[in-house]
Chain A
Amino acid sequence: MNKFWTIVGHTYFSRVKAKSFIITTAITLAIIIGLANLPSILEMFSSDDESEHVLVMDESEIYSSYLQEDEISGGAGITFENFEGTEESAKQEVIDEKYDGLLIITTDENNLPEGSYYANRISEMGEQVEIEQVLQQLKTVVGTQETGIDQETLATIYAPVTLDTEQLDDSARTAEEMNQSRGLVYVMLFVLYMTVLVYGQMIATDVATEKSSRVMELLISSAPPITHMFAKIIGIAFLGLTQVIILLGGGYFAIQANQDTMAGEFFEVMGLTNNDPVIYIYAVVFFLLGYFLYATLAAMLGSLVSRIEDVNQLIMPMVMLIVIAFILAATGLSVPESTMITVTSYIPFFAPMIMFLRIGMLNIPIWEIALSISILVLTIAAFAALAARVYKGGVLMYGKSGSLKDLKRAINLSKKE
């Protein structure tokens, strides 16, 4: 046990002290803090964005007075100004950039307003969209007044319809509940995905490094390969924990420090408040199971490589598995009840993500959860046993490598004959 913690400590501290780790963590933290401050940064850049000034020429002289009313032009951010004079001189004003544009309103055959808009530059998302809306509004007001409908009636017609939903099955989650846990499920999926990609790679590289520098033979003559392997997995887990705590902590404080209102909103949107506490326990359980499953796989694959350059090639299958799991889970967020999701929630490599998704999004019986966890635990045990064999042979195996065929060679090497 002593040796186990010696290896854990060595794995952890040699990584934590490494420049690469410190720099990566610092950069990621900077990005997180940057993202948390994004609204204020954007505001800083758009502060010079003043409202547009548009000249209006109105033959009928009725419409222009409407345009000054808040109900029609309010919120569009455009100030309309009446122009007395010729069209030519108005256009000249715009060309001289005294005004942003010129709007000429005429009356069509139905006695309703229509307009022409002149500006130095017309861009697709520019102010003409807003001007079109203003004109539309103007047309509605003028039109309804023409036909004698008063504003109140109009408002009643345009008010949004109400639809009350109620589920008759009590065990099903309400839409509200589902929305709440969706955020948490998504966070857990993403964190597990990143963890497997980043730290799985780290474990495989670490093992391969010790092998390629040939220090491995010395290590496993002091401590059993299986001790070494699990100490490595735990050591990297602590490393991951350290990094996640730094990043989450940094992010949390960045959000809180910058906008008090934003923090609350952020967590509410992400569905991180008002969740059933049990779901957090499940999140941790499935996260740990997922980590150990993939970490064991990574250590096993890493032990097959003799050169660090081959690590990426060999852990490709593992990466594919986690990518497939993530895609399945992301799809499942919108259709958690589909057969595919139900089936894949029992397949070990997908279960950590997909079973948790089902727990979060649906109300599923406890035996289903227990079954999925049992399958996972058994698979991890089986993989650990296999990985220990492969590891024992793999770490002594040198030469050309880079394919899964080496798996068989490694097992043969660890056998008695």
Chain B
Amino acid sequence: MLKLSNVTKRFGEHTAVNNLSLEIPESEMFGFLGGNGAGKTTTFRMILGLLDKTSGDITWQDKPISYNESHLIGYLPEERGLYPKLTVKEQIIYLGRLRGMKKQDILQKLDEWLERFKVPEYLDKKVQELSKGNQQKIQFISAVIHEPKLLILDEPFSGLDPVNVEMLKGAVKDLKNQGTSIVFSSHQMEHVEEMCQHICILQKGAPVVHGSLREIKRSFGKKNLNIRGDFSMEFLKDYRGVASYKELPDGCALQIEDEKTAQDIFSSLHGKGFVRKFEIEEPSLNDIFIAKVGASYE
């Protein structure tokens, strides 16, 4: 279990991470959300020991993390970086050995991974000759080749085409099922929604939402209501219980406080005209993110 308790990081006057407490259980995927500059990368760097925390504690399996555990930790940095002039093989051997692996094991694993990502021909290619998406695959391999117990992925899917995203997602899920704790950050809510049981939304270094995804959605309360019809729905703008109103060409999309409001609206619509569609939807993570993070911007 990775445990962060009351972690704070200050750069001079600026507080990058403010009193952050998290628990990430084993074999779990934990989603880290937040706008740009919210403190996600800083948090990761503190977990890895690249930056010293100003205060608080970070423990893994009840021990502070040091370089002695580096063979158990995998890291995919936000800023991708490999040696442009080295071949994929040389690259991964070097990085793998730094994680405490033997050359033979590295080569064997590398073959398996390249096979899995359907790029075995890249073994002896220089990294600078690969496309950005393929470099990303190599970068991913370098993060997982030593079968880490704790894997930190900073924006793992950015810049990939949908096919490659699915390929990488599959790999991440397999690692999780093998017992790896995974922390990952993303701007793309649907990835987090699909893969994570627990999430944390950071806002200016402090967690605004934190917990299991299902709980968060339930406690958010608000629901989405989509109505399509041939008449004006302007009157719903100021309707009691309607949090937000968005006009669409053939209707509107509402955010409502609870189901009771939906029932009220449903009866109010009676006699106004023909209703093509009336649908209540669970809020998406995107809605929650915008509501929570957007609110504090206003």
B98: contacting residue among A7, A210, A417, CB under 8 A: A7
A213 pairs with B81, CB closer than 8 A: yes
Q: How far is the CA of A286 from the CA of B16 in the complex (A)?
A: 46
Q: Which residues of B contact A3 (CB under 8 A)?
A: 97-98, 100
A214 pairs with B10, CB closer than 8 A: no
Q: Is A221 an interface residue when CB atoms closer than 8 A count as contact?
A: yes
Q: How far is the CA of A361 from the CA of B183 in the complex (A)?
A: 65
A217: contacting residue among B73, B77, B84, CB under 8 A: B77
Q: Is A416 an interface residue when CB atoms closer than 8 A count as contact?
A: yes
Q: Is B151 an interface residue when CB atoms closer than 8 A count as contact?
A: no
Q: How far is the CA of A245 from the CA of B146 in the complex (A)?
A: 39
Per-residue contact bits, chain B 1-30, to A (CB 8 Å; 1 contact, 0 not): 000000001111000000000000000000
Q: Which residues of A contact B210 (CB under 8 A)?
A: none
Residues A374-417 near B (CB distance < 8 A): 392, 396, 398, 412-417
A214: contacting residue among B79, B86, B97, CB under 8 A: B79
Q: Is A223 an interface residue when CB atoms closer than 8 A count as contact?
A: yes
A213 pairs with B83, CB closer than 8 A: yes
Closest to A5 in B: B97
For chain A, which range describes its interface: under 10, 10 to 19, 20 to 34, or 35 or more residues? 20 to 34
Stretch at the interface among B43-51, B246-254, B268-276: B43-51
Q: How far is the CA of A211 from the CA of B29 in the complex (A)?
A: 30
Q: Which residues of B contact A10 (CB under 8 A)?
A: 94
Q: Is A136 an interface residue when CB atoms closer than 8 A count as contact?
A: no
Closest to B86 in A: A14
A396 pairs with B45, CB closer than 8 A: yes
Q: Is B99 an interface residue when CB atoms closer than 8 A count as contact?
A: yes
A6 pairs with B81, CB closer than 8 A: no
A223: contacting residue among B10, B11, B45, B98, CB under 8 A: B98
Interface of A is mostly: helix
A222 pairs with B95, CB closer than 8 A: yes
A217 pairs with B97, CB closer than 8 A: no
A22 CB to nearest chain B CB (Å)? 15
Q: Which residues of A contact B79 (CB under 8 A)?
A: 214, 217, 398
A85 CB to nearest chain B CB (Å)? 80
Q: Is A281 an interface residue when CB atoms closer than 8 A count as contact?
A: no
B50 pairs with A222, CB closer than 8 A: no
Q: Which residues of B contact A413 (CB under 8 A)?
A: 11, 51
Q: Which residues of A contact B49 (CB under 8 A)?
A: 221
B70 pairs with A221, CB closer than 8 A: yes
Q: Is B114 an interface residue when CB atoms closer than 8 A count as contact?
A: no
Residues B53-73 near A (CB distance < 8 A): 53-54, 67, 70, 73
B80 pairs with A6, CB closer than 8 A: no
Per-residue contact bits, chain B 93-124, to A (CB 8 Å; 1 contact, 0 not): 01101111000000000000000000000000
A417 pairs with B10, CB closer than 8 A: yes
Closest to A7 in B: B98
Q: Which residues of A contact B12 (CB under 8 A)?
A: 412, 417
Q: Which residues of A contact B99 (CB under 8 A)?
A: 222
Besides A6-B98, A392-B50, 14 more A-B contacts (Cβ < 8 Å) are: A3-B100, A7-B98, A14-B83, A217-B75, A218-B95, A218-B142, A219-B95, A221-B48, A222-B98, A223-B67, A223-B70, A398-B79, A415-B52, A417-B12
Residues on A facing B (Cβ under 8 Å): 2-3, 6-7, 10, 14, 210, 213-224, 392, 396, 398, 412-417
Residues on B facing A (Cβ under 8 Å): 9-12, 45, 48-54, 67, 70, 73, 75, 77, 79-84, 86, 90, 94-95, 97-100, 142
Could you give 27 example pairs across A and B, Cβ below 8 Å? A3-B97, A3-B98, A6-B98, A7-B98, A10-B94, A14-B86, A213-B83, A215-B81, A217-B79, A217-B81, A218-B95, A219-B95, A219-B98, A221-B50, A221-B70, A221-B75, A223-B98, A392-B50, A396-B45, A398-B79, A412-B12, A413-B11, A413-B51, A414-B52, A415-B52, A417-B11, A417-B54
